Every structure is written in C-alpha cells, then in structure tokens.
Amino acid sequence: MTLDIPRIRARVAGLLAEYAIPSAAIGVLHDGELTEFAVGVRNVETREPATTDTVYQCGSMTKTWTALAFMQLVDEGKVGLDEPVRAYLPGFAVADPEASAQVTPRHLLNHTNGIEEAYGDPGEDEDVCARMVENIADAPQVFPPGHTHGYSAALGYAILARILEVHDGTHWDDIMRHRLFDPMGLTSTNSWHEQVDEARAATGHLIRSLEEGPLVTPVRHLPRAFGPGGNLTSTSREVLAMAHVFLNKGTAPNGKRIVSAESIQKMLNSRVPVPDPYMFGPAWALGLIICDWQGETVYATDGSTVGQNARLRILPDSNTALALLTNGGPRESFSHAVFNEILTDLGMATVPDLPAPDTTLNLDLSRYEGVYGRPGARYEVAADDGKLYLTLFLDPMQAAFLHKPDRIRYELLPVSETHFLMPPADPLEDTQAVALYDFTNGSARYLHTNCRVHPRQR
C-alpha cells in the first residue's frame, strides 16, 4: 500500500489547527522507502513555513542516541551492562552505600537505578556530566536499585555519558559527533543548541488557551545538564536514520555499521515492567519503550522540551518507522491521530485506545489515600463521597504563566486494583493514566504517572 500524502497533509493541517500546534514534520520509513513532509510554521510570530529541513528539539529521544553510543562500548568489550558503575567511575557514590556499590549501566539504561535527581547546579560548561556525578554524593534513593521503574530525566544518562567521556577522553558532544553523527552521515543532528543553524530551527510554543493560541516559549532550550538525556536537535529524516539502525540490525542508511546485531537485540529484548502500562507502554528496554499495538510489538522513543516534542515509533515486524516532530504540545491524542492516519493508509495496526474504567470494582479507597512526591512534584490522593481524587500541586510560577490554579483536582477512575484513568480538567489536556501500587505495608507505596515514580510521603 502507498501513502495518500495530500490527504494526510490536509488531515494534519486540520489537527494542528484543532490542537493549536504551529507545525509538524513527519517522516515514514516503510520497506526501506522514505516519505517526509512538513505542515505549518516554525514560528507563529515570523510565520516562516516549516519544511522537511526544519530542525526540531528532540528532548528525551536523545536518550536512545546516547544508549546507542554506550552500546558501542559494550561491543568493544570496554564495559559490561551488569558490572557496577564503580568499575568505570571509581569515585561514584550516592547517599546509600549499597546503592553506590550496586547500580549498573543496565539500571541507568532502563530507569531502575532509583537515584534522586539531586545533582545541584552543574553549570553550562562542557564538564557538566563530570560535575553531575560529583554532585550526587548525598543524593538519596527514591527506591532501591532494580525495585521498580522510575524515569530519570537527566541524571541516569548523564552518568552513562560520563563513563563514555572517561573512556574516550573527550566530552559528550564530541563523542556523539565522532561515534554517531559523522559515521551515519548526519549533517542536521546536533547535541547542543549553539551548534544549530537558527535559520532552520523551529521555535517552541506553549498554549494557555485555545482562544489565545500558541505563544513563543520563554525557555528556548533545556539546561546543559539534560544533554545526554534531552538536548539533541534533528530533522524527521535523520531521526529515521536512527530508526533504520534498529530495523537493520545495527546498520545506518549509508551502510555503516553503528552497533552489532547482538547489541540491537539486547536493546530491544532486555525489559523491565512499567507500573503504568497504558500511556506509553508496558515495559522499558535499553533506551526504548515497549508498546503493544493489537499484538504487534512496537518500540518507542519520545521527548519533550519546553515547547517542542518528538515521537518515534519503530515496528520491526512491518519494517516500518514513523517520526513526528512538533513545535507545540505535547498532546498524545494528537500524535495518535497523526500516526493512525498513516498506519491506516499502510494497512497496519493502529495505536490502541486507553482501557475503559471498570465500574464493577469495589476498592478500599483508604489504601490509596496519601501524599506522594519528589522534589518539585507533589500529588495528594484522597477519597470523597465514595470516589478517589488526585490533586496536583503546580509550581506557582508555572501556574501563573499558564493562567492555571496552583492546585488542580482530578477524579481517578479505576481500571484495576492498581491502575486508574485521570480524565482531563480542561480542553488542553488528554486523559492520563496513574498507577498506585506496592501494598507491602497495606497502603500504596508509590504513585507512577507520566513514567515518573513518586514514593508515599505520608
């Protein structure tokens, strides 16, 4: 089957208007054939059109690139996935002595290390990864290593990058260029905003209301601490070059071997369960999310910065990959609608819907009530008139900018004894999923949502 690009382009234009997202760049790699197009503008103030050469911020999709570079070290026999980090960084230490000795690269790659992101202010220089590792000597454990899944936005992959730096004797940005970008022949992918051609760069946008429309973000890029975990910029074409590596047993589109076929299998098949399986997927591999689309295994890597978003789906059984880059959002319902237009044209399985609430469940709501949180995040779960509610506490500055209250209350609708749906509180939101689980002491110990884990505080 072939893609009806005029129809899909028109549909995407309508969705962009509906969701107040300025632009989208879309790429499809199917049976070795690349199709790409862009719709919208890369900046609502200048109205410059987005093109297939427009460069977008990829956010946490960067982690998959860093994982590929790290797996090259594995291929070279220089590191082992299950050896302690201390074997490669002898001074590595966090507050918990047992965790200091136990954390391995595998824990970092699949987000089961449990170290709090307490790395202070490591600055904006090239030595940022070294400073982050130095700064976590007093970092507490959110959970014991390997106990559960809890997404690490910056720290986990910065530690992996530091292992690469010590081995290669240079900084992460140079490592990515030397190990990945240059061998793959990539000319539009960069690891730091100062390397980006501003004449081609998309501008991020935020939205406070559909009536007001998208606003240029006040935060143009993430801090350098997010480098190995979130600072890559790229085009849809070059994002799909990375997907090509997974679809072709470690080989780039130019024929260059990037990692071994064995390493690709390790990345795809080494999995840990995700407590909330519905929003993104039921398991996490080494640098990739695992999804199940009507029985077809799909590998995902996503990313968000302050006003830009990236989505990549890799379907090995169908020899297909889909890339979606936007300068607004994120809205999962938007990306699902775009992907489903493409998948339907290709005669493939579409993105599954969230499950329906189970109205027959009779839960002891007291087991879920409590305050859950981490530094910078606080959730309060309470029962009211036989129903369960979650109150999200927003940062006051964020709330003021978005014209929102600093506390937002959501109803939790049970899907099972541990999983809940959280319907939106306003039209700018999608339904979310929440897991409340680990009843070792009678009450839930953890709240897991948007891949992040939050332990019970009281």
Give the residue numbers annotated as catalytic, written as ranges: 60
C-alpha closest to that of 52 among 41, 33, 38, 34: 38
Helices (H) and strands (E) in the chain, counts: 13, 20
C-alpha closest to that of 419 among 444, 382, 442: 444
Round to whole Å and give the CA distance between 365 and 410: 15
DSSP lists the bridge partners of residue 391 as 380, 409
**Around 58, how many Cα atoms within 13 Å sit in the side-chain half-sphere?**
31
Q: Which three-class secondary structure state does DSSP give residue 339?
A: helix
User: Tokens standing for 452?
Assistant: 């992040």
Round to whole Å and give the CA distance between 386 and 364: 10
Round to whole Å and give the CA distance between 25 and 326: 6
Contact 202, 166 (CB under 8 A): no
Round to whole Å and give the CA distance between 454 and 10: 41
The C-alpha angle 184, 287, 162, rounded to 5 degrees, equals 80
Contact 36, 28 (CB under 8 A): yes
User: Tokens standing for 249?
Assistant: 């047993």
Round to whole Å and give the CA distance between 325 and 337: 14
Round to whole Å and give the CA distance between 161 and 128: 10
- Residue 84: phi and psi, rounded to 5, are -60, 145
Q: Which three-class secondary structure state does DSSP give residue 237?
A: helix
